[in-house]
Every structure is written in structure tokens, then in C-alpha cells.
Structure 1
Amino acid sequence: MSFQTGLSGLTASSRSLDVIGHNIANVNTTGMKASRAEFHELVAASLGACKSINPGIGVSVATISQQFGQGSITSTGNNLDVAINGGGFFQVTQTDGSPAYTRDGSFKLDKEGFLITNSDANVMGLPTDATGKPTSATLQKLQLPTNSPIGAKQTTKIAAEFNLDARAKVATDIVPYPPITTYGTSLVAYDSQGVEIPVTLNFVKTSANTWDVYDSTTLATGAQALATNAAITQTNAANAELHTKNTALNATNDALDVTNTTLNAPNDTLDATNTELNAATDALDAENTTWNTENPTETPRPTYASGGLTRLPTYATGGLTRHPTYASGGLTRLPTYDVTGLNPAEEKIPAAAELVPTGATLQLTFDANGKLVTPKENVELTLTSLNPAVGENGEFTVELDLSKATQYGTSFAVSDLTQDGYTAGDLTGLSVGEDGVINARYSNGQTQSVGKIALADFRNVQGLMPAGGNAWVSTMLSGPPVQGMPSVGKFGGLRPGALEDSNVDLTSELVNMMTAQRAYQANAQTIKTQDQVMSTLVNLR
């Protein structure tokens, strides 16, 4: 009997060394849980005995229990590495279609985008919408959109949070008028095809607690009005200079005209006298011509042509040059100018204070405490795309929310400016949140949820059966799995970019190994001693 007792001790010690060796071998295995051999004594039964003096018949291994204590968490920097900090197991579907459970979160992606373990088991989870809210309660294999770009989304809402300086002066009281961009901000919105639309918001103070708001469209109209006024002002400035020159020239012309009129007065009188004398001379010349013709044999009388009588020059013949007058057009009076034409009496050059844009989108009115009197949170703002195929002739409306605007005596500052549209983008990265939500990052700066990792737990985790590949399967002893979400109830949270180390304590295992070795040696010694006793008994003959 003593041989059997010692042999049972050897067997138990050997099994203990096997468990210790298995623990030491997996000291670096991710998510591995240490085991230990637990023993119980063997005692021969005695029917009807009220007390026993049986010393026992040895030992056997009662069970090899698993120690599901938390292992250390080591950061890896890999986006798809996930550790569970607390209770729960990842749920996976093995290659044969059977369910299994693991604490090893070193996940990978296969060629189809499925999230898998190193044993090619599919990680199970729930589908979600873009915000991370589950859309189904049925577990499914998580497949990530590795080859699917994200489509464009049209902007539907723009929200701005800012403070307008209460110390600012009313714009029309400032000369020259301040630039429209003094108080303003801008962002980029998108149409339904992802085309960028610059949006500008500018604010102009019109009274003590009132500001006009200009968007891109009305600002363009106002800028056009400003540009027109500026052009008119520039033209008027040139016209004013020309008007000054013309006035000086006309003053000279007027003086010259007076002089010419004075000079022409005696010429006119002399011309009348010459005309009368020339008329008499013309009559005498005609008589002399006739006489000379009729009496060619007589001494001819002198004619005008022969110089017998000198014909006096007249103004018409150029004998006396008549000086031109203004009225006769000799000197043209230069016109003066204004913005409407040749009318110096209506000359009009807009003052700087008049160059104010018009067509504000809305007005913001503040109370004595700097708060909006009427919150502006559902204002329709019309945006115009370069693509006429969008909306109606490229126009569509968005909601403008300015309800958080304030007016305090501090500098103008924008604390928040958002819009919900974006252009198309390609997948650039994946990450897992502490709540298990898997987020996809795209080249357009957007992040969308594409699934959520689910966990499972058991009433008796000691009843789980190791299946290899860092996985366990459920048994009747463990009970059915209880599904849950990370960081909810008794389920632990996830630590992305990290892995759970083995919970094997190498120091303890080495001590346990020495203890098991001593136990094995001692049991072997009991067999040796029993052999010596038996040998002595046989040699008694």
C-alpha cells in the first residue's frame, strides 16, 4: 500500500510541475491566465466505522484551476491592439464557426476588412451608426470599411459662438468708414457634391446695442455698392480737378472775349464807313468804265482797278481782321463735370461716411447685460455653389445658429465656429475607444464610427475550458455567456493601443517549482524506503 501512496505523490508532483512549466512557458503570452494544480487526499472507505485510524492511501489532483486575475497592461502604440481593464472576454467566432472567448486583444484585419485574432477567429460586435450608437442587438462579425471612401455631405447647419466688443463705435460715426472685415470670421461649407463654399460672417455696429450681420452673398452686394461708390468718388475727384482747370480756362476766355469785343467795336464802325465809301467808289468805277469804253480815243478816266480811285478795304475782304468772340465760337467754353454729366451746379461727391454696405442678413440686438434679446438659432442662410446642378441654380439653404453671441466690453473673439458638412475622403486610420466603438478616420478630417466591440462574461469563469490559441469555450460549469458592452455594469473598460500581459508571476512560479521538486524527491524517497523495508522482510527467512 505504501508503494501506491508514494506513487500517487509522484504523480501529483509531476502534474504540479507540468502546470508550473506551462505557466512559465507562457509568461509572455498575451492575455494568458496562470493555472495551478490543486490536490486532495485519498482515504480508504470503511463501511459502518464510527471512527477511523486509516492513515490514508495517497493524493490525487483534484483540479487544475485557472487564475483569472487582471494582468498588467502594456502600451503598444498599435491602433488595433485592445486590452480589457476589468471583467469580461472578447467574443470571437472560430474558423469552424464555433464561439469562443479570449482576453488577447491583438487584433488584425484580413483582406476583406474583417477584424480577426492571431488564430483567424472573427471578432464579434454590434453595427453602429456614424455617431457610435448601436443599430442592432444581434452580434455579427465586425467588418471595417478599409476599401470604402466616405461620401460628401452637404452642410445643413452653421453655428458660431463669439463676443462683439461693446466698446466699439457705431460704424457711421467713424470717418473714414471702417473696413467691413473689422469684425468678422469665415469658414468653409460644402454642397451635396463636396464642393467648397467659402462663408463669411461680418458684423457692423449700427447703434449702441445693435449689429448688422452680413453673410457672403449680402457682403458681395455691399462690396459691390462700396466698389461703385469708390469708383464714383474717384471719377468725381478727377472731374473736380478738370472742373477747376476748365473754370480757370473759361475765366481767361471770358476776359479775352471782352477784349475782342472792345477791339471789334471800332472795326465794325470803320467797316460801315468803308462800305459806304466803297459803294460810291464802285458807282464811280462803273461810270469811268462805261466812259472809257464809249470814248476809247479820248483820255481815259482813271478806274478803281487802275488805281485812279483807291477802294477802301472792308472787314469782309480782310482789310481789317475782326477778332473772334466767345458767342461766335471763336473760343469754346470748356464744360464742367459731376457724376451725372455737364452740370456744375449739381456736383456731388459722396462723403466717406456715406459709403456703407446695405442688405444685412439679420440684426443682433443685445440687452443691458450683453445677452441677445432674441436668440438667433433658426436663421435660414442661402449659400451659392459654383455647381449649378446643386439645389436651384446652385443655391441651397442652411440653418445659421448665432444664439450664443454676446456683447461684452472685451475684444472681438470667436470661441466656436462649426458646420456639419464635408467633402469626400479616403480611409486613413482606425482606432478603438474605451467604450469599444471603432472609429474610422478619413482624409477629409472626418471620423465616423463603424462598429462596436462587444464583451461577454460568465457566472463561473473557472468553468471555462481552454481551447488553445489564447481562447476559452463555455461549458455547463461556466454557464451561458452574458453579453454586455465595455465600461457598462460589471464589464471592464477597454484600453486602446495596449495589450494585457500574462498574469503569471515568474518569481512565484520558480518558488513553486522548487517546492514541487522537493515534494517529488520526498515521494520518491518514501518508495525507496518502502523498498528497503520490503527487502528486509524478505530476508528474514
Structure 2
Amino acid sequence: MSFFTSLSGLQAAQTDMSTISHNLANVSTNGFKRSTTQFADVIASTASTNPTNVIGSGTVVKSVRQQFSQGGFTQSTSALDVAVSGEGFFVVKSPDASGNGVAYTRNGSFLVDSNRNVVDAQGNRLQVYPVDGSGAVVATGLGSTINLQLPQTSGTPVATENVNLSLNLNANSTVPTAAFDRFDPSTYNHSTQTTIFDPSGNAMTLTTYFVRTSAPSSSDPTSSWEAYSFVGDKQLSADADPAAGTPITMTFDSTGAMTAPTGPTTFAGFLPAGSTVDQVLTVDFGNATTQVYKPFNVDTATQDGAPVGQLEGVTIAEDGTVRASFSNGDTQSLGKVVLASFSNPTGLRQLGSSTWSASGLSGDPRLGEPGTQGFGGLMAGAIERSNVDITEELVGLIAAQRAFQANAKALDTASQISQTIFNIRS
């Protein structure tokens, strides 16, 4: 019997060393939770056995219990790295077609896959509650969660129809001697560029060249200019013939006030590159455009077009709200991160890669929002490290080694006793 008693001690010590070795191997694994080995003694007795003479039969491993204490935090530069400060697990779903495989993790190191889903290193998709435009949750429960997916664009493109320019043309400018050529700066006096948009929201450049055509004289104190407008390489026409390339004629009185045009000028329609619909553009120099003795200057330049916003950044708030910002100034709430807790987290089934699944021992998950109902808050730009304490594990490893050696010595002693008995009989 002593052989099997010592053997049970050897096996228990070996299990303890294996558990500690697993902990030490994952000291740098994000979101890892250490385990401890729980032992129980083995007693075989009956009601008729004298309780003062009962000898145990060794030990058994009762359980390998996970310890879900908080790990430390590592700062990160990724906006999608997030840690739970307090109770709760991130909810992730497998990337297969059904998407029914639900797992739970404390490793908040997330990235974006080719379909713009936010996923962990195994491709499991982070789950969030759907929200409305104000960021309020509109549905709860595990069946209502959705994959967190980053949109590439935001908004609806608007083609530019009206451009407003207020500027000053230098009254000291001379009349060029050569015919206008936009590639020859000596043939025009000033130029300005304005960004406009086609019907698809693509940016184009409206370039306007100003050419002085007459200067004041003793008989005529007025001045005149011509404004040539180009969108890319296409010259716009201020009359009904789009091929004429007619410029806008601008006149000023002796005080420098603009006398013509008296209102907006609508160009003949032109076809933007890659578009199938003509775009009609109107330019208005307004009442603030002047010609005085100071350098050329554009006071205001506005237009009414709008591009489609491109994704520029993502933020995760402490309450789990995920917001995306776009190049056109739009912001959009994408969802609210879901957290799960369990009445008995030590009963969770380990899946590897710092993920767990629910079991009959853990109970069903309780879902909620970060910072509410006992759930911890989120820390963006941080990752939870392993909760393994190297010093504690090494001390435990020494103790397990001593236990193994002691049981091995007891086994050796039992063997020597048996050998002695065999020698007596011979």
C-alpha cells in the first residue's frame, strides 16, 4: 500500500510542477490567468473502523483552479488596444460562417482584418451592442450583439454648384503685352485656386487667372480685368458655348469698387473626369471684391460641395462607446463594447490563446456595459498583462520539487523495506 501512497504523492507533485511551469511559460502572455493546483487527501474507512487507527491512502488532485485576479497594464499606441479595469470579459465570436462560436477573453489587443472587422489575433470578432445616432444602446442580450466593423467612408457626396470669392486685385498691376497663356506667368497678373467637388465627391481644383485688360486714364478712370477659369485642364466658358472658353469680364470704377459683374456668373456645363453627368458651376465675386493699391489677396473662398469622409481615427471611451471620425468632420458611433461576467469564473473552460467558453460549472454569462452593474471600466491604449507573479511561482516550484523528492524518497524506502523482507525469506 505504501507504494501507491507514495506514487499518488509523486503524481500530485508532478501535476503541481506542470501547473507552475505552465504559469511561468505564460508570464508574458497578454490576458493570461494563472492556475493553482488544489489537492485532497484520500481516506478509506467505514463506520466500523476505529477512527484513531485510520491511515490515509495518499492524495489526489482535486482541481486545477484558475485565478482571475487583475493583471498589470502595458501602455500601447494602438487605439484598438483596450483593457478591462475591474470585472468582465470581452465577448468575441468566431469568424466562421455561422458565427455561433462565442468565447470570452481578457486580452484586449485587437486589430482590423481585411473586411474591416475588429478582431483578436485568432480572427475572433469583437462584439458590441448596436447604438443609435446619439450613442444610446438600442438592443441588449447576446443574440443582439454585432461585430464591431469600421466603416471606410461617411456621408453623401455633394457636387459643387456655387463658389464665392472675395478678393482684391492690385491696382498697380500692369496690362500684360502677350495673349493669355496659363502656362506663361507673364501673361496674367494673379491667380487663385479653390478646391471643389464632382458628383462623386472627388476633389477637383478650380484655378482662376486674372488678367488686367485696361488701366485708368485721364479720359476713362475705370479699369477692366478678365478672369479665366479652369477645372483641371478644362477651361470653363462664361457663355452658353462650352467650347468658347469665354472669360468673366470684371470692371472697377475710380474708387476701386467692382461695377461688373453685378451678380453670379454661371458657366456652361462641363464633364468632370470619370463622370457621366455635366456639372454646372456658378462663381460669385460678391460685393467685397475690390481693386485698390495693395497686394493681391483672397479674403474668402467658399464652395457648397462636400466630399465623402474617409476614416481618420477610432476612439474607445471608458464606457465602451466606439466612435469613428472622418476627414469631412463627421463623427459616428459604431457601438458599445459588451462585457460578460460569470457567477463562477473558475468554472470556465480554457480554449487557449487567453480565451474561455462558458460551461455548466461557470454558469450562463451576464452581459452588461462597461462601468455599470459592477462591470469594470475600459482603458483605451492599454493591454492587460498576465497575472503571474514570477517570485511566487518560483517559490511554489521549489516546494513542489521538494514534495516530489520526499515522495520519491518514501517510495525508495518502501522498496528497500520490501527487499529486506524478501532477503529474510530467502
* TM tier relative to shorter chain: 0.5 to 0.7
Shift, 1:448, TM fit: 2.0
Aligned to 1:411: none
Contact preservation (8 Å) 2:119, 2:126: yes
Q: Distance in 2 between matches of 1:115 and 1:513?
A: 39
Q: Distance in 2 between matches of 1:445 and 1:53?
A: 83
What is the one-letter code of the residue matched to 2:138? Answer: T
Determine whether 1:32 maps to 2:8: no
Determine whether 1:112 maps to 2:115: yes
Q: Distance in 1 between matches of 2:138 and 2:422?
A: 82
Contact preservation (8 Å) 1:430, 1:440: yes
Percent identity between matched residues is 41
Shift, 1:57, TM fit: 0.6
SS of the residue aligned with 1:540?
A: helix
> Alignment partner for residue 444 of structure 1, among 315, 320, 328?
328
Equivalent runs, 1:127-526 vs 2, <5 Å: 127-137=130-140, 138-146=144-152, 148-151=153-156, 424-526=308-410
Distance 1:491 1:152, change over 3 A: farther
Contact preservation (8 Å) 1:150, 1:442: no
Shift, 1:47, TM fit: 3.7
Q: Distance in 2 between matches of 1:24 and 1:94?
A: 28
Aligned to 1:301: none
Give the aligned CA root-mean-square deviation in angstroms.
Answer: 3.0
Q: Distance in 2 between matches of 1:522 and 1:94?
A: 47
SS of the residue aligned with 2:53?
A: coil
Q: Distance in 2 between matches of 1:487 and 1:106?
A: 20
What is the one-letter code of the residue matched to 1:439? Answer: R
Aligned to 1:341: none
Distance 1:422 1:497, change over 3 A: farther
Could you give the per-residue CA deviations for residues 418-443 of structure 1, whole angstroms, max 9, x where no partner exists? xxx98642111112111111111211
Distance 1:129 1:422, change over 3 A: farther
Moved more, 514-523 or 425-434: 425-434
What is the one-letter code of the residue matched to 2:72? Answer: S
Contact preservation (8 Å) 1:4, 1:58: yes
Q: Distance in 1 between matches of 2:123 and 2:45?
A: 51
Could you give the per-residue CA deviations for residues 423-473 of structure 1, whole angstroms, max 9, x where no partner exists? 642111112111111111211333321122111111111111101121101
TM-score (norm 2): 0.63
SS of the residue aligned with 2:32?
A: coil
Shift, 1:50, TM fit: 5.7
Contact preservation (8 Å) 2:38, 2:65: yes
Aligned to 1:55: 55
Q: Distance in 1 between matches of 2:62 and 2:328?
A: 61
Structure with more of its chain in helix, by fraction: 1
Q: Distance in 2 between matches of 1:436 and 1:76?
A: 17
Q: Distance in 1 between matches of 2:16 and 2:88?
A: 28
What is the one-letter code of the residue matched to 1:17? Answer: M
Contact preservation (8 Å) 1:83, 1:500: yes
SS of the residue aligned with 1:112?
A: coil
Contact preservation (8 Å) 2:154, 2:330: no
SS of the residue aligned with 1:534?
A: helix
What is the one-letter code of the residue matched to 2:119? Answer: I
Q: Larger C-alpha radius of gyration, 1 or 2?
A: 1
Determine whether 1:41 maps to 2:18: no
SS of the residue aligned with 2:417?
A: helix
Could you give the per-residue CA deviations for residues 460-515 of structure 1, whole angstroms, max 9, x where no partner exists? 11111101121101011111111100111210001011100000001100111111
Contact preservation (8 Å) 1:91, 1:124: yes
Aligned to 2:21: 21
Aligned to 2:301: none
Q: Distance in 1 between matches of 2:395 and 2:130?
A: 48
Q: Distance in 2 between matches of 1:123 and 1:73?
A: 20
Q: Distance in 1 between matches of 2:419 and 2:63?
A: 36
Shift, 1:19, TM fit: 0.3
Long gaps (5+) in structure 2:
159-199, 202-263, 268-281, 283-304
Aligned to 1:372: none
SS of the residue aligned with 2:49?
A: coil
Shift, 1:61, TM fit: 0.4
Q: Distance in 1 between matches of 2:316 and 2:138?
A: 18
Q: Distance in 1 between matches of 2:359 and 2:24?
A: 26
Moved more, 96-105 or 443-452: 443-452
Aligned to 2:276: none
SS of the residue aligned with 1:92?
A: strand
What is the one-letter code of the residue matched to 1:60? Answer: V
Q: Distance in 2 between matches of 1:7 and 1:507?
A: 29
Long gaps (5+) in structure 1:
154-192, 195-383, 388-393, 395-420
What is the one-letter code of the residue matched to 1:104? Answer: N
Q: Distance in 2 between matches of 1:145 and 1:450?
A: 9
SS of the residue aligned with 2:391?
A: helix
TM-score (norm 1): 0.50
SS of the residue aligned with 2:51?
A: coil
Contact preservation (8 Å) 1:82, 1:494: yes
Structure possessing the higher relative contact order (Cα contacts under 8 Å, 6 or more residues apart): 1
Q: Distance in 2 between matches of 1:449 and 1:506?
A: 42
Aligned to 2:204: none
Could you give the per-residue CA deviations for residues 322-377 of structure 1, whole angstroms, max 9, x where no partner exists? xxxxxxxxxxxxxxxxxxxxxxxxxxxxxxxxxxxxxxxxxxxxxxxxxxxxxxxx
